[in-house]
Amino acid sequence: MIYIHIPFCKQKCSYCNFHFSTSLNFKDEMISAMKTEIRLRKNELDNKSLKSLYFGGGTPSILSADEISSMIDEVLKYFSFDPDIEVTLEANPDDLDKNFLKQLSKSPVNRLSIGTQSFFNEDLKLMNRAHNASEAEGSIKRAQDFGFENLSIDLIYGSPTSNLEIWKENLNKTIALEVPHISSYALTVEPKTTLESWISTGKVASPKEEEQNEEFYYLSDFLKDNGFEHYEVSNFAKPGFYSKHNSAYWKYKEYLGIGPSAHSYNGFDVRSWNVANNQQYIKKLYTGILAKEEEILSQNDQFNEMIMIGLRTIWGVDMGSLNDKFSAQVHEHFQNEIRSKIEEGILVIENNHLKIPEKHWFMADGIASDLFIV
* Spatial distance between the Cα atoms of 307 and 373, rounded to a whole number of angstroms: 10
* Spatial distance between the Cα atoms of 361 and 374, rounded to a whole number of angstroms: 23
SS3 state at 14: coil
What's the maximum distance between 2 C-alpha atoms anywhere in the chain? 59
* Spatial distance between the Cα atoms of 52 and 110, rounded to a whole number of angstroms: 11
Distances (CA, A) of 316 to 319, 322, 349: 9, 12, 9
Work out the pLDDT band at 258, boundaries 50, 70, 90.
very high
Convert the pLDDT of each residue in 310-335 to its tens digit: 999 999 999 998 888 899 899 899 99
Q: Is the pLDDT of residue 275 over 80?
A: yes
Look at residue 241 in the predicted model and tell me its pLDDT. Answer: 97
Look at residue 252 in the predicted model and tell me its pLDDT. Answer: 86
Look at residue 115 in the predicted model and tell me its pLDDT. Answer: 95
CB 192: neighbour CB atoms within 10 A?
A: 7
Q: Which residues contact 287 (CB under 8 A, 6 or more apart)?
A: none
Look at residue 343 in the predicted model and tell me its pLDDT. Answer: 94
Convert the pLDDT of each residue in 59-74 to its tens digit: 999 999 999 999 999 9
* Spatial distance between the Cα atoms of 307 and 369, rounded to a whole number of angstroms: 8
Look at residue 12 in the predicted model and tell me its pLDDT. Answer: 80
Convert the pLDDT of each residue in 104-118 to its tens digit: 999 999 999 999 999
Look at residue 268 in the predicted model and tell me its pLDDT. Answer: 86
Which of these, 192, 207, 227, lies nearest to 162 by C-alpha position?
Answer: 207
Convert the pLDDT of each residue in 89-146 to its tens digit: 999 999 999 999 999 999 999 999 999 999 999 999 999 898 999 999 999 999 999 9
Look at residue 192 in the predicted model and tell me its pLDDT. Answer: 85
Q: Packing angle between helix 299-310 and helix 328-344, nearest 10 degrees?
A: 30
Handedness of CA 134, 137, 143, 145 (dihedral sign): negative
Convert the pLDDT of each residue in 30-60 to its tens digit: 999 999 999 999 999 988 999 999 999 889 9
What is the pTM (predicted TM-score) of this model?
A: 0.94
SS3 state at 269: coil
Convert the pLDDT of each residue in 177-215 to its tens digit: 999 999 999 999 889 889 999 998 999 889 999 999 999
* Spatial distance between the Cα atoms of 354 and 125, rounded to a whole number of angstroms: 41
**Percent share of the chain, pLDDT over 70:** 100
Contact 110, 130 (CB under 8 A): no
224 membership: H or E segment, kind and range: helix 209-225
Residues forming a β-bridge with 91: 114
User: What value does the mean pLDDT of the chain take?
Assistant: 94
| β pairing state of 80-91 and 151-157 | unpaired
